[in-house]
Amino acid sequence: MRTAVARIGVLAGLALLAACAPAATPVRVPAPARSIPASSTSPPPPACSPEGIRITELGVDAAMGLRAMGLELVNCGDRPYELRGYPVPSLRDADRDPLKVTVIPGARPITSGFDQPPTRIVLRPGERASAALLWRNLVTDATVVASNGAYLDVAPLPGRPSHPVELDGPIDFGNTGRLGVSAWKRYNGTSSTNPPAPSGPPSTAPTPDSRL
What is the Cα 51 distance to its own chain's centre?
Answer: 22
The pLDDT score that the predictor gives to residue 38 is: 47
Res. 65: pLDDT tops 80: no
Res. 33: pLDDT tops 70: no
The pLDDT score that the predictor gives to residue 103 is: 93
The pLDDT score that the predictor gives to residue 43 is: 56
Cα–Cα distance, 207 to 210 (Å, whole number): 9
The pLDDT score that the predictor gives to residue 141 is: 78
The pLDDT score that the predictor gives to residue 164 is: 95
Q: Are 114 and 134 in contact (CB under 8 A)?
A: yes
Res. 67: pLDDT tops 70: yes
53-186 folds as Immunoglobulin-like (2.60.40)
Instruction: pLDDT band for 41, please (50, 70, 90 cuts).
Output: low
Res. 4: pLDDT tops 60: no
Q: Which carries the bigger pLDDT value, residue 7 or residue 124?
A: 124
Torsion of CA 5, 10, 11, 12, to 10 degrees: 90
| 123-148 per-position pLDDT tens digit | 999 999 999 999 988 887 777 778 88
Q: Which carries the bigger pLDDT value, residue 155 or residue 6?
A: 155
The domain locations on the chain are 53-186
What contacts 171, CB < 8 A, 6 or more positions away?
A: 67, 69, 91, 133, 135, 148, 149, 152, 179
